[in-house]
């Protein structure tokens, strides 16, 4: 059974909406990284902050009012007509929701905990449910009136990618006729301080795969797809997942789990490695991640496949990253000029790593049917690779 990505709504630090995000990404004349002060004591953090105005919650949804849900609503509103049409045609009980996240409403919870520490009482608007990992899916289900399966996935930085794989299973199992799937994460003090404590954050804009790379920039985003069995230009061929459990926070140095996820994705899609036209790399700009991914990509493809990391443009959006970078592949597949996301960095390759064929502003996909892979790797050795194709 073939599944399709019929619609896309997206917001990230590059902007809100497919057109705005695509032009900013393909042109790479700017980026979405900004300085943030005051969240990490004594430090200025470079982050991918969404500056687009976020929608206000209605009175009926005021109990769902978190920044994470506002990001999600902004992405959903871009494709609200398609979503409501699917609900109307298939029925509320045949439409599902799967959302990947890692931060959900924890920033609001953090502020409430601080208030309780000062005053001894919880704020009147504090709701524990806001920080639950299923909260984004529950919010969308309530807003749209959906009665089908609705749940969250939180596998750290593969959450958004795993949400798409889970959505495809719902369709293949005939539990749903349409699934709203993707990821959403918002900036929060817990994540910024946590990654700083791990010495994993960069002092300035990150430099994926550079010999000078020194860490990530954290970002925020929401990316939502409508996945169905109805034919559309972009096919979701599937993907592969693995869990090597090498270390709590470090990947296997040779990228065994990453290689396994890519191999499973190719097998799931019925493709060989020579058919992939582009790989969106996880590319966090940390020393160990980029090293293992370089080795895994080299071992998997054995040829200079065009590839890039987009995290120097958006920051690492954590639980939303897998969905956001699948969205970038969707945008490349539907772009009339067949443009590819450029690899933005200092051009200083690490001589200790296998060389990769990084894209630039002039890189283009070939005409005809095209196959793109998107990689996501996470803490605990949790790995996922997705494959999208154009039906032309």
Give the pLDDT of residue 198.
83
Q: What Cα–Cα distance (Å) separates residue 76 from each residue in 130, 132, 152?
A: 19, 20, 16
pLDDT of residue 378: 86
The whole-number average pLDDT for the span 1-18 is 97
- Would the CA dihedral through 52, 143, 84, 224 be positive or negative? positive
Tell me if residue 63 is catalytic. Answer: no
Q: Which residues pair with 358 in a beta bridge?
A: 307
Active-site residue (options: 31, 252, 282, 343): 282
The catalytic position among 31, 49, 157, 390 is 157
Domains of the chain (ranges; CATH) run: 3-390 (3.40.47.10)
Mean pLDDT on 251-268: 85
- Annotated active-site residue 31? The verdict is no
Residue in 49, 252, 316, 343 annotated catalytic: 316
Q: What digits encode the pLDDT tens for the residues 333-360? A: 999 999 999 999 999 999 999 999 999 9
Per-residue pLDDT tens digits for 170-224: 999 999 999 999 999 999 999 998 888 888 899 899 999 999 999 999 999 999 9
Q: Is the pLDDT of residue 246 over 80?
A: no
pLDDT of 392 higher than 90 = no
Does 196 participate in catalysis according to the annotation?
Answer: no
Task: Give the pLDDT of residue 1.
Answer: 84
Taking only the tens place, the pLDDT of each residue in 31-90 is 889 998 888 888 889 999 999 999 999 999 999 999 999 999 999 999 999 999 999 999
As given in the structure block, the two tokens for residue 377 are: 């790797």
Q: How far apart are CA 194 and CA 306, in angstroms?
A: 33
> CB-based contacts of 119: which residues, under 8 Å, 6+ apart?
none
- Give CA–CA dist 36/212, Å, rounded: 22
Instruction: Quickly list H helices, the chain.
Output: 18-27, 67-78, 80-90, 106-119, 135-144, 159-172, 189-197, 256-269, 287-301, 311-314, 321-334
pLDDT value of residue 203: 85
CA distance linking residue 289 with residue 32, whole number of Å: 22
Q: State the pLDDT at residue 233.
A: 96
Percentage of the residues of the chain whose pLDDT score is greater than 70: 96
Average pLDDT, the chain: 94
């Amino acid at each position: 059974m073939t599944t399709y990505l019929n619609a896309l709504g997206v917001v990230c630090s590059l902007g809100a909406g497919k057109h705005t995000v695509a032009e900013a990404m393909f042109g790479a004349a700017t980026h979405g990284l900004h300085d943030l002060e005051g969240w990490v004591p004594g430090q200025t953090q470079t982050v991918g902050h969404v500056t687009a105005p976020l929608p206000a919650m209605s009175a009926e949804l005021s109990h769902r009012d978190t920044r994470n849900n506002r990001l999600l609503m902004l992405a959903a509103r871009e494709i609200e007509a398609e979503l409501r049409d699917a609900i109307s045609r298939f029925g509320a009980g045949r439409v599902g929701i799967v959302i990947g996240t890692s931060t959900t409403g924890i920033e609001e919870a953090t502020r409430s905990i601080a208030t309780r520490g000062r005053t001894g009482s919880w704020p009147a608007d504090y709701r524990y449910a806001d920080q639950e990992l299923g909260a984004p899916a529950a919010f969308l289900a309530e807003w749209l009136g959906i009665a089908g399966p609705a749940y969250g996935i939180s596998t750290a930085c593969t959450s958004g990618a795993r949400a798409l794989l889970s959505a495809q299973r719902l369709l293949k199992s005939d539990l749903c006729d349409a699934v709203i799937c993707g990821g959403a994460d918002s900036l929060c003090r817990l994540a910024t301080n946590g990654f700083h404590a791990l010495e994993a954050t960069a002092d300035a804009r990150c430099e994926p795969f550079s010999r000078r790379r020194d860490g990530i920039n954290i970002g925020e985003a929401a990316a939502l797809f409508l996945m169905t069995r109805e034919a559309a230009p972009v096919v979701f061929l599937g993907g592969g997942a693995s869990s090597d459990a090498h270390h709590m926070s470090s990947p296997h140095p040779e990228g065994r789990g990453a290689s396994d996820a890519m191999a499973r994705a190719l097998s799931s899609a019925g493709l060989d490695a020579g058919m992939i036209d582009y790989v969106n790399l996880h590319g966090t700009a940390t020393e160990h991640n980029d090293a293992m991914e370089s080795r895994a990509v080299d071992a998997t493809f054995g040829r200079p496949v065009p590839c890039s990391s987009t995290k120097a443009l958006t920051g690492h959006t954590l639980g939303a990253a897998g969905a956001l970078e699948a969205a970038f592949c969707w945008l490349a597949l539907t772009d009339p000029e067949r443009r590819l996301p450029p690899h933005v960095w200092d051009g200083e390759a690490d001589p200790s790593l296998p060389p990769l064929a990084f894209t630039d502003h002039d890189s283009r996909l070939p005409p005809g049917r095209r196959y793109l892979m998107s990689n996501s790797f996470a803490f605990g050795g949790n790995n996922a690779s997705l494959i999208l194709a154009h039906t032309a």
